[in-house]
């Protein structure tokens, strides 16, 4: 780093993303991307007209996109805000609601701790229970804004919507932010609770269940007042945060319900088959409602298993923490890819 960087920023520990190699022949199961292509409607939306329109600034309000999202979830359009990935939306939430403090689990999406440090938000980090579940009593009668990934990452464990309702009832004067990046693979969304709770903010993404990780598109849903708060942050940072082409493909993806449902069902089915196969090999596999599995091989340490797979052109993610080092996070790919993972694993065990 240079000598000009501020001391506070120099002390930051940045988020570490998963590897993104561009080699051919890899089975890439390390960054929770979809193994399936975007909706055919997305391809149809990329027209010569839409490409020519890139010479103009994008629609600041993302009218077509937010209308499609609002209609899909039964909300008013002013209850939706689009962002450059759900990361940007969550970053807005830390800036808008984190000044008096934030609370989140110790094992969760790694960016929460980064944003808390970046924006100077006092952070209370709550250890997960021994079985990796969220200890709900530790978040009751809370003084801080609560950030919960549901299903959690990297564990894949999901809270039922009634548990989130309990948090909302116990924290009426605090914002509860539920990060539903993985909710579409079998968990219960809390979007219906938005009608009853003014302090609930739900954040989702197009990266996982709508196959648009490279487009960088996410959105928030909540009361009009909360969305107005986020909009204030957006307009103080980058009003044109979602480009016009991404808005078009996002709207097309949101309106293709049949393709969305088909891909989610395939991934969930493959997840359960893979979990059963790994358990049969002696793995400890947590109950996942996401598009990945958090699994511990008993025949070698998690990091060693990750490196052994990499030597055989299969990428998975390892988190070298005290409580997570025995595990790897395995993204669900196609059935053929998961069969190959199991086959290679059997070879490593011999």
CATH assignment at residue 48: 3.40.640.10
pLDDT value, residue 20: 82
3-state SS class at 28: strand
Kindly state whether residues 248 and 119 are assigned to the same domain: yes
Kindly state whether residues 196 and 332 are assigned to the same domain: no
Residue at 177 is within a domain: yes
Contacts of 35 (CB under 8 A, 6+ apart): 267, 332, 333, 334, 337
pLDDT value, residue 236: 97
Cβ-based neighbour number of residue 130 at 10 Å: 8
pLDDT value, residue 297: 97
Answer with the one of 255, 287, 314 that is the final residue of a domain: 255
pLDDT value, residue 281: 98
Overall number of domains in the chain: 2
Kindly state whether residues 137 and 231 are assigned to the same domain: yes
Residue at 140 is within a domain: yes
CATH code assigned at 271: 3.90.1150.10
Return the closest-CA partner of residue 290 out of 224, 347, 191, 207. 207
Residue at 132 is within a domain: yes
Residue that is written with structure tokens 């309990």 in the block? 166
Answer with the one of 255, 272, 291 that is the final residue of a domain: 255
Residue 318 in contact with residue 303, Cβ under 8 Å?
yes
Alpha-helical runs (H) found in 98-236:
111-118, 161-170, 224-235
The whole-angstrom separation of Cα 246 and Cα 297 is 40
The whole-angstrom separation of Cα 250 and Cα 160 is 28
Contacts of 281 (CB under 8 A, 6+ apart): 297, 342, 345, 346, 349
Q: In what order do the strands lie in the sheet with 218-222?
A: 80-83, 218-222, 200-205, 176-179, 145-149, 102-105, 123-126
pLDDT value, residue 289: 98
Beta partners for 204?
219
Print pLDDT tens along the chain (350 aa).
Answer: 898 889 888 888 888 888 888 777 899 999 999 999 999 999 999 999 999 999 999 999 999 999 999 999 999 999 999 999 999 999 999 999 999 999 999 999 999 999 999 999 999 999 999 999 999 999 998 899 999 999 999 999 999 999 999 999 999 999 999 999 999 999 999 999 999 999 999 999 999 999 999 999 999 999 999 999 999 999 999 999 999 999 999 999 999 999 999 999 999 999 999 999 999 999 999 999 999 999 999 999 999 999 999 999 999 999 999 999 999 999 999 999 999 999 999 999 98
Kindly state whether residues 199 and 324 are assigned to the same domain: no
Kindly state whether residues 194 and 297 are assigned to the same domain: no
- Please tell me the pTM assigned to this model: 0.96
Q: How far is CA 109 from CA 153, 182, 202, 284, 343, in A?
A: 6, 12, 15, 21, 30
pLDDT value, residue 241: 97
Beta partners for 284?
296
Kindly state whether residues 32 and 46 are assigned to the same domain: no
Residue at 142 is within a domain: yes
Kindly state whether residues 229 and 266 are assigned to the same domain: no
Kindly state whether residues 213 and 283 are assigned to the same domain: no
Residue 280 in contact with residue 288, Cβ under 8 Å?
no
Contacts of 17 (CB under 8 A, 6+ apart): 31
pLDDT value, residue 3: 87
Q: Residue 278: which domain range?
A: 18-37+258-349
Kindly state whether residues 25 and 56 are assigned to the same domain: no
Residue 284 in contact with residue 295, Cβ under 8 Å?
yes
Kindly state whether residues 198 and 292 are assigned to the same domain: no
Answer with the one of 255, 272, 300 that is the final residue of a domain: 255
- DSSP secondary structure code for residue 21 in this structure: -
CA 251 from centre of chain: 19
Residue at 11 is within a domain: no
Kindly state whether residues 224 and 120 are assigned to the same domain: yes
């Amino acid at each position: 780093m240079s000598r000009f960087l501020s001391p506070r920023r120099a002390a930051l520990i940045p988020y570490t993303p998963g590897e993104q190699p561009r080699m051919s022949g890899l089975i890439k199961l390390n960054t929770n991307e979809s193994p399936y292509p975007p909706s055919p409607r997305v391809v149809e939306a990329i027209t010569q007209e839409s490409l020519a329109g890139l010479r103009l600034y994008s629609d600041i309000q993302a009218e077509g996109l937010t209308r499609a999202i609002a209609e899909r979830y039964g909300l008013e359009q002013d209850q939706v805000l689009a962002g450059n990935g759900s990361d940007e939306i969550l970053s807005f939430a830390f800036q808008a609601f984190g000044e008096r403090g934030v609370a989140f689990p110790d094992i969760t999406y790694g960016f929460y701790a980064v944003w808390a440090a970046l924006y100077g938000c006092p952070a209370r980090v709550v250890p997960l229970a021994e079985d990796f579940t969220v200890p709900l009593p530790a978040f009751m009668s809370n003084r801080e804004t609560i950030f919960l990934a549901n299903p959690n990452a990297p564990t894949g464990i999901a809270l039922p919507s009634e548990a989130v309702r309990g948090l909302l009832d116990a924290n009426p004067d605090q914002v509860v932010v539920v990060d539903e990046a993985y909710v579409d693979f079998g968990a219960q969304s809390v979007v219906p609770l938005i009608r009853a709770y003014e302090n609930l903010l739900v954040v989702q993404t197009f990266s996982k269940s709508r196959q648009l990780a490279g487009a960088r598109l996410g959105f928030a849903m909540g009361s009009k007042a909360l969305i107005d708060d986020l909009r204030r942050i957006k307009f103080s940072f980058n009003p044109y945060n979602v480009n016009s082409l991404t808005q078009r493909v996002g709207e097309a993806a949101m309106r293709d319900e049949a393709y969305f449902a088909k891909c989610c069902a395939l991934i969930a089915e493959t997840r359960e088959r893979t979990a059963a196969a790994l358990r049969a090999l002696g793995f400890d596999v947590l109950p996942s409602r996401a598009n990945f599995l958090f699994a511990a091989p008993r025949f070698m340490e998690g990091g060693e298993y990750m490196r052994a797979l990499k030597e055989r052109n299969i990428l998975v993610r390892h988190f070298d923490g005290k409580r997570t080092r025995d595990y790897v996070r395995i993204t669900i790919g196609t059935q053929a890819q998961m069969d190959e993972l199991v086959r290679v694993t059997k070879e490593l065990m011999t």
